[in-house]
Amino acid sequence: MSFRGSIQTPVRAVGVESDGAAITRVFWVREAEEEDAGEPDDLVREALAQLDAYFAGHLTAFDVPLDLGRQTEATRAVLMTLYDTVGHGETVTYGELAARSGTTVPARGIGSIMGANPIPIIVPCHRVVAGDGLGGYSGGREGEGLLTKRWLLEHEGALPTALF
């Protein structure tokens, strides 16, 4: 059984799904999905409350059980290394995360793993940057991935606020 709910954020509506035991998905809600939000369970309500506190600037670490679903060992190691070692207000490069994870995944592969992260924001793929800039990001409003990534990093104090 799957449970679902969503909240509005400054960068786009965010949805959360659980299987009743763990959060299984965080996603950027498209307008059509907003009408079919589903029923939240206590776990979804808790995750939404934590996301709301994060976006309000009151939460720096999430504390909900996670289930990354079916992943390769390397993908799971990379995502959990990110979750466990890159805190609020910090960034790590794709190459640094590759080395830190203890896998043989190259930096380019780290980018692909970040793009397929099933639990963005909570597993903070926005904190992974290129050695020479922000890198990529697929979250937020259509076509505004890098603006969303910049907003999230500025919100956490990991980047100086843009002047314009």
Tokens of 127: 């904190």
Active site residue 125: yes
CATH of 73-155, one of 1.20.272.10, 1.10.10.10, 3.60.110.10, 3.40.50.80: 1.10.10.10
Query: Cβ distance 32 to 68 under 8 Å?
Result: no
Residue range 9-55, pLDDT digits in tens: 999 999 999 999 999 999 999 865 554 557 899 999 999 999 999 99
Give the residue-averaged pLDDT of 81-106: 97
Residue 155 neighbours by CB under 8 Å, 6+ apart: 55, 57
Task: Say whether pTM exceeds 0.75.
Answer: yes
Catalytic hit among 122, 125, 128, 158: 125
Q: How far apart are CA 139 and CA 25, in angstroms?
A: 13
Name the nearest CA neighbour of 135 among 97, 85, 83. 97
Q: How far apart are CA 109 and CA 151, in angstroms?
A: 24
